[in-house]
């Protein structure tokens, strides 16, 4: 009888152990947490996010730089910063036909996004202006509105509203009121090109800080929005200048040199961030077909990282 009871007890222990061993803890839990079942909806969302990230790695974005729009006669020396209204319209029409213009703000939001909630169209391109000439308002802005092309204008804040012939500027600059009108359209955004258009890397520390922070203050005070983008005049900057700009609140830094040789041109990759953006300086003697070809060749030579 004792042997029978021991046998029954042993069998019960084996059965109990087997029952307990059907789903051991190490299969149910990972790192102390119960494994969650992935739904089909979650799986599809993850696939969509991976596709978005893969697309983002392969995006190339040209940024073009224009200055003053005028019918003044072009020379080899001044063509780097002048373009006729006729040619500017041709450029914008060709760009709208071959690319999809986006704003620099859209690009910023795309680069900083990591959850797939922000996207940009295929063949993106960005239009920018430097200095803040009245011609940007009087001639460029109507063309941009007509073609629905966004642009960012980097202004020298001490010359906003300055009039040619009064000793401060060679060409008149638009006013804060005109800047507000352009921004109200939703197409134009005004950002910093320093206080007085200087070579920032050649200044002492105190003046570097003033040039960056006062221009930011002037824009925020007069236009009522955050100023977090800067384009350095003449392409003059160094690591110290970039660090001061970052500490001053500039999330976007454009580091282009004033060069119009195709060999100097580059486009931008989202993976490179926002503190080393480069632009292609468009000269007034470049035909619209030539500009499109140059952009395409520049894009083809840029390697995806």
14 vs 251, residue with greater confidence: 251
Which tokens go with 82? 């002048």
**Count of residues for the chain?**
305
pLDDT digits over 51-85, tens only?
A: 888 889 889 999 999 999 999 988 877 888 999 99
pLDDT at 208: 97
Whether the CB-CB separation of 143 and 183 falls below 8 Å is answered with no
How is residue 22 annotated by DSSP? S
Please state, in angstroms and rounded to a whole number, the distance separating the CA atoms of residues 209 and 46.
44
Q: Which residue, among 125, 135, 129, 299, has the nearest Cα to 229 in the 3D structure?
A: 129
The domain segmentation of the chain, as residue ranges, is 2-34, 60-301
Considering only CA atoms, which of 128, 101, 127, 60 is closest in space to residue 268? 60
Write down the pTM of the prediction: 0.86
- CA distance linking residue 267 with residue 280, whole number of Å: 8
Q: Is the pLDDT of residue 259 over 80?
A: no
- Can you tell me the distance from the alpha carbon of 166 to that of 182, in angstroms, rounded to the nearest whole number? 25
Kind and range of the H or E run holding 45: helix 40-57
pLDDT surpassing 80 at residue 26: no
pLDDT in the model for residue 34: 55
**Tens-digit pLDDT profile for residues 149-198:** 999 999 999 999 999 999 899 999 999 999 999 999 999 999 999 999 99
Q: How far is CA 114 from the centre of its chain?
A: 15
- Phi-psi group of 234: left, alpha or beta (phi > 0 → left; psi -120 to 50 → alpha; rest → beta): left
pLDDT of residue 14: 46
The pLDDT score that the predictor gives to residue 33 is 54
Q: Select 60-301's CATH number: 3.40.50.300, 3.90.700.10, 3.20.20.370, 3.40.50.150.
A: 3.20.20.370
**Predicted pLDDT of residue 2:** 46
Most confident of 73-87, 125-139, 270-284, 289-303: 125-139
Q: Which has more pLDDT, 305 or 142?
A: 142
Is residue 100 a contact partner of residue 92, using CB atoms and an 8 Å limit?
no
CA distance linking residue 148 with residue 160, whole number of Å:
25
CA distances from 220 to 68, 185, 207, 225 (A): 24, 18, 20, 5
DSSP-derived letter for residue 93 is: H
Higher pLDDT, 15 or 52: 52
Among the residues of 65-140, which ranges form H helices? Answer: 85-98, 104-112, 134-135
Mean pLDDT of the chain: 89
The residue among 37 and 216 whose pLDDT is bigger is 216
What burial class does residue 130 get, using C-beta atoms within 10 Å of its C-beta: 0-12 exposed, 13-18 middle, 19+ buried? buried
């Amino acid at each position: 009888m004792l042997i029978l009871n021991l046998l029954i007890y042993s069998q019960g222990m084996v059965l109990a152990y087997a029952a307990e061993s059907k789903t051991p803890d190490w299969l149910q839990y990972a790192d102390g947490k119960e494994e969650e079942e992935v739904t089909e909806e979650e799986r599809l969302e993850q696939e969509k996010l991976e596709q978005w990230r893969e697309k983002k790695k392969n995006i190339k974005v040209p940024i073009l730089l224009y200055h003053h729009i005028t019918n003044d006669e072009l020379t080899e020396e001044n063509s780097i910063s002048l373009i006729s209204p006729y040619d500017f319209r041709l450029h914008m029409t060709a760009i709208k036909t071959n690319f999809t213009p986006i704003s620099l703000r859209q690009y910023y939001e795309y680069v900083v996004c990591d959850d797939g909630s922000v996207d940009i169209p295929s063949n993106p391109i960005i239009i920018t202006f430097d200095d803040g000439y009245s011609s940007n308002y009087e001639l460029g802005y109507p063309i941009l509105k007509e073609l629905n092309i966004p642009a960012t204008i980097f202004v020298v804040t001490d010359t906003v509203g300055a009039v040619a012939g009064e000793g401060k500027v060679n060409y008149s600059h638009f006013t804060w009121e005109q800047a507000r009108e352009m921004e109200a359209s939703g197409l134009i955004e005004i950002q910093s090109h320093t206080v007085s258009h200087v070579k920032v890397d050649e200044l002492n520390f105190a003046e570097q800080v003033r040039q960056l922070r006062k221009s930011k203050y002037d824009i925020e005070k007069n236009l009522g929005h955050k100023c977090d983008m800067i384009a350095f005049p003449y392409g003059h900057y160094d690591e110290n200048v970039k660090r001061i700009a970052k500490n001053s609140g500039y999330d976007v830094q454009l580091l282009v040199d004033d060069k119009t040789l195709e060999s100097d041109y580059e486009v931008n990759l989202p993976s490179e961030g926002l503190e080393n953006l480069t632009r292609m300086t468009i000269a007034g003697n470049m035909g619209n077909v030539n500009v499109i070809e140059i952009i395409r060749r520049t894009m083809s030579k840029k390697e995806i990282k």
